[in-house]
Structure 1
Amino acid sequence: MNIVVLAGGLSTERDVSFVTGNMVSKALRKNGHNVILLDVFMGYSDKPEDLTGIFERSQEVSVEVTSIPSTAPDLEAVKKSRKDQSDCFFGPNVIELCRMADIVFMALHGENGENGKIQATFDLFGIKYTGTGYLSSALAMDKGLSKRLFQANGIPTPAGISMKKAECERDFKKTGLTLPCVVKPCCGGSSIGVSIVRTEEEYNQALEEAFHWEEEVVIEDYVEGREFSVGVIDFKALPVIEIAPIEGFYDYKNKYAAGSAVETCPAELPENVTKEMQHYAEEVARVLGLNTYSRMDFLLNKDNKMFCLEANTLPGMTPTSLLPQEAQAVGVNFEQLCEQLIEISLKKYQ
């Protein structure tokens, strides 16, 4: 097949997305496909191009990728570096190339990758893509909204509230919550802008950090415990993986720097706890309508009580990512996983 792997964009996870895209591109080429790795924001070329036969020289026109930096990208600098300086989110030739492809593999993470806007655009253009559709993407991306859906459907999740910047409550006592708590951007990813708050002074600092990234934040009870993740493919849960950061919590650095966390798959848990967590992961997929693949994040306290934090609609596919490790635990290697995700996604169009 002719495949566009779409990466980059303008989210705080731009750099992570490129590494996902690079890994996926290599795997799909190994599987025999013609693959173009494309930056959705920068596009291909800034002048009129004859795109005839472009997939036969796919590697020549693909983005070149390096490793993930230890800090989030400067998005204003990225915007200023685009040659055509258009106000259109899609870079030159992006829509044209995606329409020429048999399918677009969505290697995007974060805003305008996982919030459903690109999926909705592609639906209107008749472009086939991997992953769930626009509505389920939007529901999962909004942590405040997905939390309310979890609560309404009996899926355990930390108690919390959403707060917009224009209506920000600086007095912690008036929030109705207790310390410690967690403050995080409502629609962010890769733990960027997330703070664990233990004092009222830290609360205001955490608000400043979270509002730096977004106009809405989620404030929720802090759960002391072990961290887990469960991938779900076609509504069926994969083995549970445990993530144990060597220092601190599972933040941006610990997610992507090799050796920063110990990851165990399958997780060492009692069988009944494993099955319960897998059940709730499948329930999240059902409730949010995540009909292809996704990954749910959980915390487990000392009493083995679990809490679902969020759903990821386009899980990372980097060398340290969790979904590929979970698939490997059931005998599915990286190349097979990429192929499987395409096959399941194409079922949407049958």
Structure 2
Amino acid sequence: MPHPPSPLPHLTRRQSKILQAVAATLVALGLLLWWLLPLGKTPPSGTIIFSTGTRAGVYQKYGGLLNDAIHKDMPDLKVVLKDTAGSQENVRRVANGQSDFAIAAADAVENYLQNHDPHADTLRGVARLYDDYVQLVVPADSDIRTVEDLKGKRVSIGAPNSGVRLIADRVLKATGIDPDKDIQPKAYGIDTGPKLLGHDLDAFFWSGGLPTDGLRNLAEHSAIRFIPIQPSLVAKLHAEGESTRYYRATNMPASAYPSAQNNATVPTMAVSNLLITRSDVDPELVKWLTRTVINSRDRIGHDVHSAQLVDVRTAIYTDPVPLHEGARRYYRSVKP
């Protein structure tokens, strides 16, 4: 006659708590392994150089916050952040091997490719990030109302080799203004232009995420206005071909700089930003970095509002450069 099964031993309250703690630890360990499995168990180490942008600009702030996220995910990876003039310099630095990663606007990347500049064919995309908005700023009491009114004025068109310079030159030319002859061009960035507005400057161009700290501070302490970039002007730019196809007509939301916009949107144009690298950068490193970019969105977006737009569904669209193999592997690993 078979014996009935022995009853389960009774657990004391202390033993039950210990068992629950062990179970919770195993679950946490399993989640950690699930988190790391698509990437490999050992985070990359070494040193990388990351080009950002000018002080008071969004590129630099985003790069600094991304560096914090990288340090948490890859504690043995040292990131050297490099201040630069902006997109055009960043593309050149990555292509020439002076930097491993950089943020750059799509029009600047395409411009580099079309010029057949050195090592252009090595450029690769990691992620599409967020959009830059063109912001043309004047004092509130200025007689400048349209882009055409800039003729004869002292206008900052951005630092040489910046994305701002590329856009400002194109906007002016599309309006019939020669940047070298029809205005008094100044080469200031967002770190300097706001301080000189109304003194040594009548207007300045900026292209950056919304809001840009340097402009937000200016709007909160000075009376300024934004000059509209009308859709008809964007259409003229598109007709010129080249990398102007990356510009899209849009509106700067009223919430960008409330004190300067009087609850009104401002017609302008935008261009997408890309995180770029080179084809020879280690795929495993790029894979880890791509994950950090995607998963740090909310953390970084708390301080850089435009970073909230980073999305795994759109990050793969890094035109005009193909995705780096490491980034491709990451996106495949999280594809539903």
Q: Same-fold call, TM > 0.5?
A: no
> TM-score, normalising length from structure 1?
0.34
RCO comparison, higher one (Cα < 8 Å, 6+): 2
TM-score normalised by length of structure 2: 0.35
